[in-house]
């Protein structure tokens, strides 16, 4: 290329660049003018009407705040629903990396309600520590369930969760020796794939065990119970984040596979009734539990959020009247601060009792009426760290289950996108591109690590309190900060039902 040609090429290039620049600037100017006119004349948004174009940035920054707040602005222990300290413990436990800290705790021990554990002067030696003892659920059933696991995977439906997420949970649960609750969305092949123990949940819509009219089907119950891995059946009355409201699965998540498993139309919103239409009293509840147990031969209980509690006493009286064999094999006590994929904010924020009130109340009522030894108690709702799990065991729970804790183990970043099919970690979306980031083989290991490290850490708390295994923790092993800033023993706040003489090394 000679000098003349080079000069000509440069001029053409500059002319094209100038033309493109003019087009871009012109387009931007036109767009700004259009937005200005639209904003100035519209009547819906005050800020945009008074501050055309610039006012739009308010919504943009507000949206960005959801993602950047947890990284740049929130302190380690102030964010909700889970703060950075809680999430970090779960992440490290799932990755099986060092979970120790240096210098001192960042936890403020002064607020009312803070839980503290009472270490004893002569803690349990490592060589004296033992594994949690096995617990049998439904000893009178044809097929009772015995497990030593303390910490298990709470109800999360296939549909609310993606295929790779359920697969990872199934394999991880099997490796850790814990159970996986199906949630109300029915039993999928992915729940069974890993070979773990499964708890089948029956929601108000009877997904997976319903006939064409939506009623409970004995034949389908038998089909589910035929799977050896399905060890228990849980009848869901209500759920923590939405007591009094049925499950909600947006139509965009109702794929052909999910529709087939649930027995519902493809692509339509899947909304469960707000309660079981066929259960109108504690008598009906016991009838339903006994029907499921008789058909399946397996332990059957129910899950509920406590608000009004007089009905629990009525339930116990009805059990006394009918006999202990009529009692549910377990009760899962869910919390008002439990989680969900989608719920109305008034229910999520303001309905039901938190576990600190409801769990001791249920256990004390069962003890009062002499049915506690017959009915196992499972604690559910915002239990993601050892402190919360150990507290539940101190109060008297037999088992603890967690949903969001295991979501953190899968890689959840608390993006709050569960209801939009846009979960960036692939956990609660059916978008194949987003699911690609969740590799079940890798996440299954993290699920198992999280469960095992939880058991280990709760054991450390138990040994510091002077007992050889976590299920021997009792209320006097914990203290709660009162209104005056001074802690009181948990068994003074909620009198313990177990004699102190049963424990030789209580401190």
319 and 395 belong to one structural domain:
yes
Residue 57 has what pLDDT? 78
Do the domain assignments include residue 78? no
User: Of 73, 96, 115, which residue is a domain's last?
Assistant: 73
Residue 4 has what pLDDT? 67
38 and 130 belong to one structural domain:
no
Residue 502 has what pLDDT? 41
Question: Predicted confidence band at 505 (pLDDT cuts at 50, 70, 90)?
Answer: very low
Most confident range, picked from 89-98, 225-234, 413-422: 225-234
Q: Give the contacts of 409 (CB within 8 A, at least 6 positions apart).
A: 90, 93, 94, 172, 443, 446, 447, 449, 450
347 and 465 belong to one structural domain:
yes
- Distance, in Å, from the CA atom of 322 to the CA atom of 286, rounded to the nearest integer, reads 10
Cα atoms in the 13 Å half-sphere on the side-chain side of 352:
29
Residue 503 has what pLDDT? 38
Residues of the chain with pLDDT > 90, as a percent, come to 56
Q: Average pLDDT in the 146-173 region?
A: 95
Do the domain assignments include residue 326? yes
Whether the pLDDT of residue 322 is over 50: the answer is yes
Residue 500 has what pLDDT? 40
Of 152-156, 194-198, 412-416, 465-469, the poorest mean pLDDT is in: 412-416
Are the C-beta atoms of residues 234 and 401 closer than 8 Å to each other? no
Residue 288 has what pLDDT? 97
- Distance, in Å, from the CA atom of 383 to the CA atom of 391, rounded to the nearest integer, reads 10
Residue 118 has what pLDDT? 95
Whether the pLDDT of residue 504 is over 50: the answer is no
68 and 165 belong to one structural domain:
no
The SS3 of residue 158 is strand
Are the C-beta atoms of residues 363 and 395 closer than 8 Å to each other? yes
Angle at 69 (CA atoms; ends 63, 70), nearest 5 degrees: 130
User: Of 33, 53, 73, which residue is a domain's last?
Assistant: 73
Do the domain assignments include residue 330? yes
Count CB neighbours of 487 within 10 A: 16
Residue 42: give the domain boundaries: 3-73
Residues paired with residue 199 on neighbouring β-strands, in sequence order: 181, 232
Do the domain assignments include residue 498? yes
Residues of the chain with pLDDT > 70, as a percent, come to 90
What is the domain-level CATH number for residue 347? 3.20.20.70
- Distance, in Å, from the CA atom of 505 to the CA atom of 474, rounded to the nearest integer, reads 12
Whether the pLDDT of residue 507 is over 50: the answer is no
Closest CA to 321 of 333, 332, 313, 330: 313
Do the domain assignments include residue 359? yes
Per-residue pLDDT tens digits for 28-73: 899 889 989 998 888 877 778 888 888 887 767 666 666 666 665 5
- More reliable by pLDDT, 253 or 134: 134
Cα atoms in the 13 Å half-sphere on the side-chain side of 264:
24
Our count of domains for the chain comes to 2
305 and 211 belong to one structural domain:
yes
Q: Average pLDDT in the 335-346 region?
A: 73
146 and 236 belong to one structural domain:
yes
Backbone φ/ψ region at 326: left (φ over 0), alpha (ψ -120 to 50), beta:
alpha
Whether the pLDDT of residue 75 is over 60: the answer is no
Do the domain assignments include residue 88? no
365 and 454 belong to one structural domain:
yes
22 and 151 belong to one structural domain:
no
- More reliable by pLDDT, 332 or 250: 332
Residue 501 has what pLDDT? 38
The whole-model pTM stands at 0.84
Per-residue pLDDT tens digits for 374-397: 999 999 988 999 999 999 999 999
57 and 134 belong to one structural domain:
no
- Distance, in Å, from the CA atom of 365 to the CA atom of 33, rounded to the nearest integer, reads 68
Do the domain assignments include residue 118? no
Of 200-214, 245-259, 328-342, 464-478, the poorest mean pLDDT is in: 245-259
> 170-187 b/e with 16+ CB inside 10 Å = b?
bbbbbbbbbbbbbbbbbb
Backbone φ/ψ region at 178: left (φ over 0), alpha (ψ -120 to 50), beta:
beta
User: Of 44, 73, 102, which residue is a domain's last?
Assistant: 73
Q: Average pLDDT in the 435-464 region?
A: 95
63 and 209 belong to one structural domain:
no
Do the domain assignments include residue 95? no
Per-residue pLDDT tens digits for 241-300: 777 777 777 777 788 888 888 888 888 877 788 889 999 999 999 999 999 999 999 999
Residue 495 has what pLDDT? 84
CA distances from 272 to 130, 212, 236, 307 (A): 44, 15, 11, 21
446 and 357 belong to one structural domain:
yes
310 and 431 belong to one structural domain:
yes
| CA 300 and chain centroid, separation | 21
Are the C-beta atoms of residues 145 and 172 closer than 8 Å to each other? no
């Amino acid at each position: 290329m000679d000098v003349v040609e080079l000069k000509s090429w440069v001029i053409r290039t500059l002319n094209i660049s100038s033309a493109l620049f003019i087009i871009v600037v012109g387009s931007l100017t036109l767009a700004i003018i259009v937005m200005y006119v639209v904003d100035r004349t519209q009547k819906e948004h005050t800020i945009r009407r008074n501050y055309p174009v610039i006012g739009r940035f308010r919504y943009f920054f507000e949206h960005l705040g959801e993602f950047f707040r947890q990284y740049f602005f929130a302190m380690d222990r102030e964010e909700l629903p889970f703060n950075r300290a809680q999430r970090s413990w779960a992440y490290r436990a799932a990755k099986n990396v060092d979970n120790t800290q240096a210098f001192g705790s960042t936890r403020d021990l002064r607020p009312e309600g803070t839980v503290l554990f009472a270490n004893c002067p002569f803690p349990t030696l490592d060589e004296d520590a033992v594994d949690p003892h096995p617990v049998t659920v439904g000893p009178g059933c044809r097929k009772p369930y015995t497990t030593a696991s303390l910490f298990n995977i709470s109800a999360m439906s296939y549909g609310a969760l993606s295929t790779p997420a359920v697969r990872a949970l199934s394999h991880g649960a099997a490796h850790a020796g814990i159970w996986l609750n199906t949630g109300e969305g029915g039993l999928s092949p992915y729940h069974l794939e890993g070979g773990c123990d499964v708890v089948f949940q029956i929601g108000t819509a009877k997904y997976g065990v319903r006939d064409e009219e939506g009623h409970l089907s004995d034949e389908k119950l038998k089909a589910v119970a035929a799977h050896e891995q399905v060890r228990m059946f849980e009848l869901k009355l209500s759920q923590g984040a939405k007591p009094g409201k049925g499950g909600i699965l947006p139509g965009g998540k109702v794929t052909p596979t999910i529709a087939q498993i649930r027995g519902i139309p493809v692509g339509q919103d899947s909304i469960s009734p707000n309660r079981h239409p066929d259960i109108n009293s504690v008598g009906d509840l016991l009838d339903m539990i006994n029907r499921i147990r008789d058909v399946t031969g397996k332990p059957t209980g129910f899950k509920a959020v406590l608000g009004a509690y007089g009905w629990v006493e009525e339930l116990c009286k009805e059990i006394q009247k009918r006999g202990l064999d009529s009692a549910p094999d377990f009760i899962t006590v869910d919390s008002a601060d439990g989680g969900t994929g989608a719920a109305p904010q008034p229910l999520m924020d303001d309905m039901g009792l938190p576990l600190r009130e409801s769990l001791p109340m249920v256990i004390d009522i069962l003890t009062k009426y002499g049915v506690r030894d017959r009915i196992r108690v499972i604690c559910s709702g915002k239990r993601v760290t050892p402190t919360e799990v150990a507290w539940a065991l101190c109060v008297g729970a037999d088992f603890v289950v967690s949903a969001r804790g295991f979501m953190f183990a899968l890689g959840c970043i608390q993006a709050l996108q569960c209801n939009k099919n846009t979960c960036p970690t692939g956990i609660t979306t059916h978008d194949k591109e987003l699911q690609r980031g969740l590799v079940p083989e890798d996440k299954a290991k993290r699920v198992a690590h999280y469960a095992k490290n939880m058991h280990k850490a709760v054991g450390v708390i138990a040994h510091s309190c002077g007992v050889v295994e976590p299920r021997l923790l009792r209320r006097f092993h914990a203290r709660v900060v009162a209104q005056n800033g001074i802690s009181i023993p948990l068994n003074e706040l909620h009198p313990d039902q177990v004699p102190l003489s049963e424990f030789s090394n209580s401190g």
